[in-house]
Structures are given as C-alpha cells and as structure tokens.
Amino acid sequence: MGAAVLACRAAFRSGSGLVAACCDPSLFSDVHAGVPEATCVARDIQDLAKYDAAAIGPGLGVTPENHARIVSVLQGFDGPVVLDADALNCLSQYGIPSPETVRAKLVLTPHAGEAAKLVNALGGLGSAAAGASDIAKNRELFGTLLAEKLNAVTVMKGAGSLVCCPDGSVYENTTGNAGMATGGSGDVLTGMISSFAGQLAAQGVPAAEAAKRAAVCGVYLHGLAGDLAARQWGQAGLMASDLADYAALARQSFDNFTVTD
C-alpha cells in the first residue's frame, strides 16, 4: 500500500482538500498509518459523481477483476482519470476499451516498459513488437500515437518527460534531476496530476482541458519538487516521500495552472 499512500500524500500536498483511498477494507489501517488525513472506501464503490477526479494504478495488481473495475470507471465516470502502473498493465493484458465507449478524460503516465505494452496491445509496429528501448528512443512518436489512438493525454516519463496530447501538441519538461529515478516517484506524480485535475474540474474547467493542464503542470511541479528536495537532501539520498512533501513548496510557485504554447 506504499504506492497508494504516496499518491494520497502527494494529492494532499498539491492542494486537494479531501482524498479517498479506494482499497480492500483489510488495508484501511495501512493507509491511515501512512496518511491519516485520507478517508478510505471499499473497492465496490458505485457513486463516483461526488469526486472531482480519480487515479487508478498505484499498488493495484494485475487481475481480470481489477480490469473490470477499471473499465467500469472509465465508462461510468465523466471526469479526469489518471491511469498509471498496474492500471496500464491491466489494460495491456486484458484489453483496452474503445475510446468511443470511454466517458472519462484520460491521462496516461507510462514509463517505457508500460508504454511498450500499450503500443503492442494496439497492434505494435506491424509485424514487429515494440520494446522499451524502441519507446525510449522515440518517445514523442509513440507518445503521440498513444494520445491519438486512446484519446488520452499521455505522459512519457523519463528525463525531460513529454506530455503528448490528442490535439497533437507536445510539451517537454525542463525540471527534475537524476535523484528522482527512485521507487515511488511515479506514484507521487500520479497523485499530483490527479490533484490538479480535480482542482481544475472543481473550478469549472471542462474535464478534457483539466486533464491536459493538470498533466503539464503536474509534470513540471513534480520535477520542481525533486529539485527543491535535492537541495536539502542531495540527489543520491532522495526518496519519493520527499517529493510528496516538497510538492507543497513547488505548488506555491504557481498562482494558477495556465498553460501557454
């Protein structure tokens, strides 16, 4: 549950007022031990309308049952949804729903390996399968492909992360450092992006625009949090929990979430 805790902490530090962790009731105490401010809800939750945004993936597990839950959310919730980690792996392994059936406005945050699985699930490179090395060498190409095919803002994680949008626009991040290549960093990013998307949606920004702006700002501020944390702890000793806490200081640097080309 460490992944879920990191995502929840990052969401709080990024400005969310209320954060709920959706997990098995047997794990509620684990969540509360790591982030007592969060509420917990069981995984059979039906009413998503009261939430401004959702994030799925950190600590989830790859099972047919989880795949069914993911598809249910994507087809039943019309707000921004961030998909990371095992949410992406579930879709790659058990099937990607047609974009025409998806109501949610998606943000995907794959690393190279997860992106390769998604690309291959969509047909790959014709007769050849795409590998993580292929993705790493051509992140803009494959990020744009995923964005167009899945109608999803796609964050291609790595040094100089790229945010590829369904409208063809691509943003390259300029913050961050090598110390952020540590376990849990992606979970913090997921929490930050979903937090910003929820805040924007609550302000009345249309879900698709909220997803795009949250992804761009989330990636930038995630890297900035890493830079601020590295000044305190150094890159070698940086931990993902540092990023979650320094997200608050990074958030202070923005008065709003305006994205300009």
pLDDT (mean) for 161-170: 97
Digit-coded pLDDT (tens) for 191-218: 999 999 999 999 999 999 999 999 999 9
pLDDT (mean) for 236-253: 94
Task: Provide the b/e sequence for 96-108 (b: ≥16 CB within 10 Å).
Answer: beeeeebebbbbb
Burial class (CB in 10 A: 0-12, 13-18, 19+), 204: exposed
Digit-coded pLDDT (tens) for 126-148: 667 889 999 999 999 999 999 99
CA distances from 259 to 161, 180, 218, 220, 254 (A): 16, 24, 11, 11, 11
Q: Looking up tokens 């790591």, which residue turns up?
A: 34
Query: pTM for this structure?
Result: 0.95
Taking domain 2-252, whether its CATH number is 3.40.1190.20 is answered by yes
Domain-by-domain residue ranges, the chain?
2-252
Select from 35, 15, 69 the least CA-distant residue to 198.
Answer: 15
Query: Has residue 12 got a pLDDT over 60?
Result: yes
Q: At what angle do helices 185-202 and 85-94 cross, to 10 degrees?
A: 90
Q: Output the pLDDT for position 171.
A: 98
